[in-house]
Amino acid sequence: MLREIGISADSRIAERFRGGFVREFESEASCIAELYLFLIRDKVKTDKTRKVLLFFTDLQTGPPPEVRPIRCLWPFDFSDYIAADAREKKQRVLDALHAGMLWLAENCGWAPQPLEDAYVEAVARDLTLKASLKKTWPSPDRRYRVRVDFRFDIDAVYLDAVLTKYHGSQEVARLKLGKARPYRGCMFDYGAEGEWTAPTVFELRSTSFIKEKWTVDFSNAIAGDAYGSQNDAR
């Protein structure tokens, strides 16, 4: 099964597209790569291929002469991409990624239907991955849990901390944690470590080299929930 999809810009374009464009493009394109991977996960049998890396280039107009999933050069118009707005940028990346994946599927013997389904679903989701981290963190008194919801967009990954009852999924409060830089596989870093640093304070920590952290205080929500529970008991 496929476990990773990466999109990069051909490094040879760096002389024409300066100012860190190659790195910026890879960051922006990661939102589509992660969405597409999310939608096809465990649905495409790829034999021994676990990773696909597409390198977009404007130095060719058609598929590459060799079938190499780990380094597949794929045609892309960077000038049109730069001129597009955020929504259109994501659409252009999705179209190119999808075309490349279908070409690989045809030449590698992978089933194309899960890819077609993923494309339709990606458009239905407005080209944005919204999901929750698998891990949750129980509060010190075991009355609540925190889960982290995220929206993986072209400019940032937006993080919310959601307070729920310990038993069940009843939402008590939702607070904005903050935002983080998007890149391929970043949710493994952003979702690796979390901790209640006080009875009402939760902190999410990144394991990337930047070592970011985001903190929320649920004191008002917890106090309000306790007050409501007391009234319900009367």
Q: What are the pLDDT tens digits along the chain (234 aa)?
A: 899 999 999 999 999 999 999 999 999 999 999 999 999 999 999 988 999 999 999 999 999 999 999 999 999 999 999 999 999 999 999 999 999 999 999 999 999 999 999 999 999 999 999 999 999 999 999 999 999 999 999 999 999 999 999 998 889 999 999 999 999 999 989 888 999 999 999 999 998 877 899 999 999 999 988 655 544 544
Contact partners, residue 233, CB within 8 Å, separation at least 6: none
Domain end marker among 59, 91, 124: 124
Neighbours of 80 (CB within 10 A): 12
Q: Are residues 153 and 169 in the same domain?
A: yes
Can you tell me whether residue 177 is helix, strand or coil? strand
Class of residue 62 by CB neighbours under 10 A (exposed 0-12, middle 13-18, buried 19+): exposed
Can you tell me whether residue 113 is helix, strand or coil? helix
Residue 111 CA to residue 129 CA, distance in Å, equals: 23
Q: Are residues 192 and 220 in the same domain?
A: yes
Q: Are residues 194 and 99 in the same domain?
A: no
Q: Are residues 135 and 148 in the same domain?
A: yes
Q: Are residues 12 and 99 in the same domain?
A: yes
Domain end marker among 124, 151, 186: 124
Domain that holds residue 210: 129-233
Q: Are residues 32 and 12 in the same domain?
A: yes
Q: Are residues 110 and 143 in the same domain?
A: no
Structural domain total, the chain: 2
What is the pTM assigned to this prediction? Answer: 0.92
- Token pair in block for residue 158: 């937006």
